[in-house]
Amino acid sequence: MSLSPSVYFKYWRIEQVNLIVGALRLNRPHTLPPERLFLAHLAPYLTQTETELEGELKRLQSENEELSDGIQSQQEEMEQVVGGLEAFLADMERANEIMSNEVEGNSVKKEIADIEQDFRAAGREAKL
């Protein structure tokens, strides 16, 4: 009894499947827990992603340090400007007090009147 080629091929395929199943049983990859098997497949991707994220983190930390330094120098500059403005306002308040005292004592009005009289007298002398 001879086998037809299609029947022979089916037996050959069944034998190949049996060999593969036998090899798998010897290696027992299915005995690994699913989580470990899953992580083994993801490990290269996770390692690459971790490396990329660490690089990005370092870049952002460096950028944040630069921004922090810039903010600190701006704060120092603002403190100097505010200090200068406070000093200017204090000077203006002292000048205002002095002027208020002078105006209240009418010394400024008297001085202005004297200057006006001098100009009028000088103008009369020039006409003569």
First to last CA, the chain: 160
Positive or negative, the CA dihedral 7, 13, 14, 15 is: positive
Task: Name the residue type at position 101.
Answer: N
- pLDDT exceeds cutoff 90 at 103: no
- pLDDT exceeds cutoff 80 at 7: no
Tell me the three state secondary structure of residue 76: helix
* pTM score of the predicted model: 0.44
Length of the chain measured in residues: 128
Helical pair 34-104 and 107-127, crossing angle rounded to 10 deg: 60
pLDDT for 57 equals 96
Instruction: Give dist(CA 19, CA 36) in Å, integer.
Output: 26
What pLDDT digit, counting tens, does each position of 46-101 carry?
Answer: 899 999 999 999 999 999 999 999 999 999 999 999 999 999 999 999 888 877 76
Most confident of 22-31, 36-45, 72-81, 90-99: 72-81
Rg (alpha carbons) of the chain, rounded to whole number: 49
Name the average pLDDT for the chain: 81
- pLDDT exceeds cutoff 80 at 112: no
pLDDT for 42 equals 83
